[in-house]
Amino acid sequence: MSAVREHVVVLHRWRDEYARYADYLDHRAQQVSYVTTELSRASAPEAAAAVAVVSATDRLAEVRAAIAGLADRLGPVRRLVALNEGDLDTAARLREELDLPGQRGADLERFRDKLAMVVAAEAGGVRVPAYADAPDAGAVRAFAAAHGWPVVVKPRRGTASRGVAVLHGPEDLSAAAGLGQEPFLVESFVPEPVLHIDGLWTGERLGPWRASRYVNSCREFGAGVFLGSVELDDPELLSAVEEFTAQVGAALGAGQPWVFHLEAFAGVDGNGAPRLTFLEAGARVGGAEIPFVWREVHGVDLMAAAVDIQLGRTPTAPRIPAGRTAGWLLLPLPVPPPCTVLEAAAAPAGGLGPYAGHLPPPGTAIPAVGGYEHVAGRFRFRGESSHEVEAAILRTAGAVRVRCAATTP
């Protein structure tokens, strides 16, 4: 008799090929089933043993029922894989309920609770802003009295830039939507550019990594401003980033490997040397176009390392060749989704342009699912320097025109 094939369930919510599951999981040696949405169903591998559709992959009751149905068909679930940030909590909870190996709630806490995160980073010797728990407006006022205005408030378990507000004085407290209704964190405002650093911590040392600077900010993107990112090529800054990233990797890794998407403020000290300050970190591959530029420009698939970690395998990833600089651009929707694209066109911009991109054609229905996939335009760049790539990002942002009409529910 042939051996019973192990049943692995994947929570899958992307429409595009952010993850190449067929490269990471042997769909012949294992029974790999997928829990996904109607929107993302078409991008599940054809070799899937079964596909279950739910309204959203972060709705625990629906996902739990879907997995129970898959287990009835294919046998007990032995492993659960979830790569999108929005599905990590669901996966951790279900691993606990089903007694599966892998990351559980306690393991995830320092990456999902921003207060636990900054406490762990500070305990590991990482430079962090002044911070405090902020259960209500009174706590924010007390913090500002001690550390000064402006301050930043944000949900402790928020994703992307949901609920983040910069308060310049007590009169701005009304702008902190949700304060007092869910756990919040307050921090001193740091007026410095924000970097994102992506890569792999092996459990002992840094694996491959890249550091990039945002062009505009994630919070501004939510307000209708384009969001770009350009990889850094300044040797002095990169040296400081490497030391800082290794410190964070050890502090939050707790002796375990993790794929990281780390954000930090980049300033200078009194001697003019680079100084990094911790912002946030996620134990997952960065979003937006990061998985694509890593594969296409640098030849490294961080998603593969993330799957290895979740399956209990030793993650491996090659070093990134020198001399390649990448970047990406996201254009915001001109009206809130759901909406329909009326026009999408890019005028000739001259100079270096994107090597890949996506503009939704007229008639495309944009769903109200959030995230950085369903936007007005996505573009990827590569060049010889940070300056060249950033110039191409700015040219492209000014050359694209997208018009949409709101969809009436």
Which of 52-61, 264-273, 348-357, 359-368 is predicted least confidently? 348-357
> Which positions ≥6 away from 7 have C-beta within 8 Å?
30, 31, 33, 49, 70, 71, 74, 75, 76, 77, 78
Round the average pLDDT of the chain to a whole number and report it.
94
Q: How far apart are CA 377 and CA 131, in angstroms?
A: 36
Q: Is the pLDDT of residue 3 over 70?
A: no
CATH architecture of 7-102: 3-Layer(aba) Sandwich (3.40)
Query: What does the pLDDT look like over 133-143, one tens digit per residue?
Result: 999 999 999 99
- Residue 282's pLDDT band, with cuts at 50, 70 and 90, is very high
Q: What is the mean pLDDT of residues 351-356?
A: 89
Q: Is 367 exposed, middle or buried (0-12, 13-18, 19+ CB in 10 A)?
A: middle
Place 409 in a pLDDT band, splitting at 50, 70 and 90.
low
- Which of the four pLDDT bands, split at 50, 70 and 90, describes residue 323? confident
Torsion angle of C-alpha atoms 265, 326, 202, 278, degrees rounded to 10: 0
- Does residue 212 have a pLDDT over 90? yes
Task: Please say whether the beta carbons of 371 and 160 come within 8 A.
Answer: yes
- pTM reported for the whole predicted model: 0.94
Q: Where are the domains of the chain?
A: 7-102, 130-188, 194-406
Name, in order, each residue with C-beta under 8 angstroms of 310's C-beta and a sequence gap of 6 or more: 79, 80, 81, 82, 102, 103
Confidence of residue 2 (pLDDT cuts 50, 70, 90): very low
Report phi then psi at 230, rounded to 5.
Answer: -135, 130
DSSP 8-state assignment for residue 262: E
Report the DSSP beta bridge partners of residue 188: 151
Given a contact cutoff of 8 angstroms between Cβ atoms, the answer to whether 221 and 164 are in contact is no
Task: Say how far apart CA 98 and CA 157 lie, in whole Å.
Answer: 24
Architecture of domain 194-406: 2-Layer Sandwich (3.30)
Span 215-262, pLDDT tens digits: 999 889 988 999 999 999 999 999 999 999 999 999 999 999 999 999
Question: In the CATH scheme, what is the code of domain 130-188?
Answer: 3.30.1490.20
Pair 68, 52: CB distance under 8 Å: no
pLDDT of residue 321: 84
11 CB burial (10 A radius; 0-12, 13-18, 19+): buried
Q: Model confidence over 94-133: pLDDT tens digits?
A: 999 999 999 999 999 999 999 999 999 999 999 999 999 9
Checking if the pLDDT of 1 tops 50, the result is no
pLDDT tens-place string over residues 29-54: 999 999 999 999 999 999 999 999 99
Lowest average pLDDT, out of 123-127, 159-163, 320-324, goes to 159-163
Note whether 157 and 205 are within 8 A (CB).
no
C-alpha torsion 51→160→116→113, nearest 10: -50
